Structure 1
Amino acid sequence: MKKVMVIGSGAREHTIAKTFLKSSKVQEVVVVPGNPGMGAPGITTKVLDTNDFASLIKFAQDEAISLTFVGNEVPLVAGIVDAFNNAHLAIFGPKQQAAQLEGSKAFMKRILTENEIPTAKSITVTSLAAAQQAVTEIGYPVVIKTDELAAGKGVSIHQEKIETSEFLEFMYQKNLNHKLIIEEYLAGFEFSLFSFVGKNQIVNAPLAHDYKRRFAGDKGPNTGGMGSYSPVAQVSDTDLSRTISELVLPTIAALKKEKIDYEGVLYTGVMLTKNGPKVIEYNVRLGDPETQVVLPQLESDFYDLITGLLQGKAVKPKWQTKNKFVGVVLSDPDYPIKTSGQHELPKFKEQLDVDIASCEIEAGNLYSHGGRVLTVVNAGTTMEIARDLIYHELDRINTKLAYRSDIAELSDKKEAID
């Protein structure tokens, strides 16, 4: 029996751990650092610094870890895969050089534009004057992105000149040489594609749609994600095929031209425009909260899938096709601006799946400890059935935690980038 280590602490990592534990080959999953809400038979947590690679490697060696799966982007960008490879430990994720696809938006845009991979027109700038000029050139509405990692919140959309000027001045007061990407606004329907990339094979998961804005109706600031659903009926087989052939495969080939071999999860954030699919962003790990509605659809062995991809073996995963999955995120009421304090985590009906993101334990009870607190997930033969039980239960428990009331409600409509 095998022991697996998952790197991360959120609801995404909780889902990953539970998916590994379904394997008949896996006896235990250790989530590092995890959180107190993950405690369950077969899942343990270990508090270690996820950027202290020497300690992680020693722990993996001491505990005879067979496979490490990295959920969080920060250690990937810092080079955890390179460190584990040097220690001859099995780990799934891209190496540091490849992880720059998420670590630097400027790097990503260069790869896309130089290889004519469809994406929004953009200009990379490092001064206030250049940023103001770029906004004029791109026109409104305009999207402004920070170059570095920003936990899914480094994107803002601007509609008019005065507000944009104030925003840019604020950004450059903090750092005179701040690197920003000034980008055209794309209209259409947004969706996410997870590709598991191995030595000789790519496995694509069911599509998901994510809700990034804090409030219903896509209002308020960007967050790390307030909910999601999967599969995504709005994307046709033709559009999915184009996404893979025109975006995913050319990107992997473009990296290979630069002597960068990509292995691990490639998350493609796609805008389906009137001119076809275009890349909004790339992430180098599974997305949160999309993971919570995608991985439960895997009916075959997750451990076999990942180890097979690492070893270059042919894998044939099986995904369910009968049900629709909906996930609603519960957050601190003041998220993403701040966190107001501890709120007791509600108890849900057993038929609902709950993935815990951030909590602490006190006198045997779990309390919120951070922005996004948990994701509650349900499956049903229709999207309406899947979501209705979640919202009926949320009405019943009357929690102080906050959530959007419209997750999966607009699943038959097309939405602009949020």
Structure 2
Amino acid sequence: MAKVLIIGSGAREHAIARAFQQSPKVMAVYAAPGNDGMRREGIMTLPIVETDFSSLIVAAQKYQIDLTFVGGEVPLVNGIVDAFTAAGLLIFGPKKAAAQLEGSKAFMKKILLDHQIPTAQARTVTSLAAAQAAVQALGYPIVIKTDALAAGKGVTIHRDAQETAKFLAACYQRQEEMTLVIEEYLSGFEFSLFSLVGRNQIVHAPLAHDYKRRYDHDQGLNTGGMGAYSPVPEINSATLELTIRTLVMPTLAALQEMNTPFSGVLYTGVMLTASGPKVIEYNVRLGDPETQVVLPQLTSDFYDLISGLVTGQKVTPQWQTEKSFVGVVLTDPDYPQGVSGNYLLPDLGTDVLVDYTHSAQGQQTLLSHGGRVATVVSSGVNKKEARQTIYQTLQAADLPLAYRHDIAQTISEVTYEK
């Protein structure tokens, strides 16, 4: 019987831990640092921050962990896989060099452009003058991305010259040589593909579509994610095959060519444009909240899948094809600008799954503790039925928390924009 360690504390990590728990080959699941909501399902939490590699290694050795799965990007970009591997511990994820695919947007963009992998035209700049010239060359609308990690909030879209000039001036006032990636705007339908990359095999999970902006109809600020659904019926099998063949596989080949082979989760953010699928971004881990609607679709053993990929054994995962899954993120009412308080998290019943992000144990109950609080997930024969279940549950609960009301609506009802 195996013991598994999950690195991270959010709803994504809760969903990952639950998937491991369902394996008859797993006797114990630990999460570091985890949250109090996880503990309600028998997931053991360790009070170690995800960037304290030495303490995490000591804990993995102490508890005789057989496999570690990294949830978030920060420890990956900082080299947790290198550290665990050097200590002789089995871990699923890319090493530090390959993790720069997410850690640096300039690094990622150079790979895509150098290898002619379909993506938005872009320029990487380090000065105000260069940024202004890039905007002039690419035209409006224009997309401006910070080079480094930004917790899903480092992308802004600009349509007005005066506002853009003000934004760029503020950037370079804060940091004289800030690196920005300035891109042409891509329009179309956006979707996410998770490719689980092992030693000898690649497994592609069901597609997902997520909602990034805070308010209904894609109004308000970008957030870490307000909801998602999966599978994505808007994308047919031919488009999926084209995406894998022209985007995913050439990127993995390029990394191999650079002597930075990739293993772990390659998250391809794709825009289906009028001229075909193009890469918006790459992440090097499972997405949040997409994970919460993708992993429940795995009907085979998750531990077998991940341990097999890490060790190079042949795996034959099975995914359901009969249902749609919808996830709605609950947040503090003031998110993403701030946190207004600690709110009661009631029991939402058995019709939905709840993956906790920020929760703290109160007296016989859970309290919210942070911006994004939990992801509520339901399933149905189609998106309409799944979202009906979830919104009826939320309405009946009369929650003090905030959420979007338009997750998984039809394309015509929602404006899709990065």
TM over 0.5: yes
Measure how far apart 1:6 and its partner are.
0.2
Partner in structure 1 of residue 233 of structure 2:
233
Partner in structure 2 of residue 244 of structure 1:
244
> What CA distance in whole angstroms lies between the structure 2 residues aligned with 1:245 and 1:405?
36
Q: Deviations over 1:101-129 (max 9, x none)?
A: 00000000000000000000111111111
Does 1:152 find its partner at 2:152? yes
Q: What SS does the corresponding residue of 2:181 show, helix, strand or coil?
A: strand
Measure how far apart 1:40 and its partner are.
3.1
Q: What SS does the corresponding residue of 1:225 show, helix, strand or coil?
A: strand
CA contact (8 A) 1:197 1:265 kept: yes
Measure how far apart 1:414 and its partner are.
8.0
1:187 partner amino acid: S
Q: How does 1:6-405 map to 2 (within 5 A)?
A: 6-405=6-405
Q: What SS does the corresponding residue of 1:390 show, helix, strand or coil?
A: helix
Q: Deviations over 1:191-226 (max 9, x none)?
A: 000000001110000000000011110111101110
Shift in CA distance, 334/41, structure 1 to aligned 2, threshold 3 Å:
closer
> What CA distance in whole angstroms lies between the structure 2 residues aligned with 1:122 and 1:265?
25
Measure how far apart 1:413 and its partner are.
7.0
Measure how far apart 1:371 and its partner are.
1.1
1:179 partner amino acid: T
- Report the TM-score when normalising by structure 1: 0.98
> What CA distance in whole angstroms lies between the structure 2 residues aligned with 1:157 and 1:400?
31
Measure how far apart 1:187 and its partner are.
0.4
> What CA distance in whole angstroms lies between the structure 1 residues aligned with 2:343 and 2:40?
22
Fraction of identical pairs, as percent: 60
Shift in CA distance, 33/387, structure 1 to aligned 2, threshold 3 Å:
same
CA contact (8 A) 1:171 1:178 kept: yes
CA contact (8 A) 1:131 1:182 kept: yes
Measure how far apart 1:363 and its partner are.
2.0
CA contact (8 A) 1:100 1:108 kept: yes
> What CA distance in whole angstroms lies between the structure 1 residues aligned with 2:325 and 2:41?
25
Q: Which runs of 5+ in 2 are unaligned?
A: none
- Report the TM-score when normalising by structure 2: 0.98
Measure how far apart 1:346 and its partner are.
2.8
> What CA distance in whole angstroms lies between the structure 2 residues aligned with 1:227 and 1:106?
28
CA contact (8 A) 2:218 2:416 kept: no
CA contact (8 A) 2:217 2:413 kept: no
| Cα root mean square deviation, aligned | 1.1
Q: Deviations over 1:288-337 (max 9, x none)?
A: 00000000000000000011111111110000001000000011111111
Shift in CA distance, 330/397, structure 1 to aligned 2, threshold 3 Å:
same
CA contact (8 A) 1:189 1:415 kept: no
Q: Which runs of 5+ in 1 are unaligned?
A: none
Q: What SS does the corresponding residue of 1:385 show, helix, strand or coil?
A: helix
CA contact (8 A) 1:14 1:355 kept: yes
CA contact (8 A) 2:218 2:414 kept: no
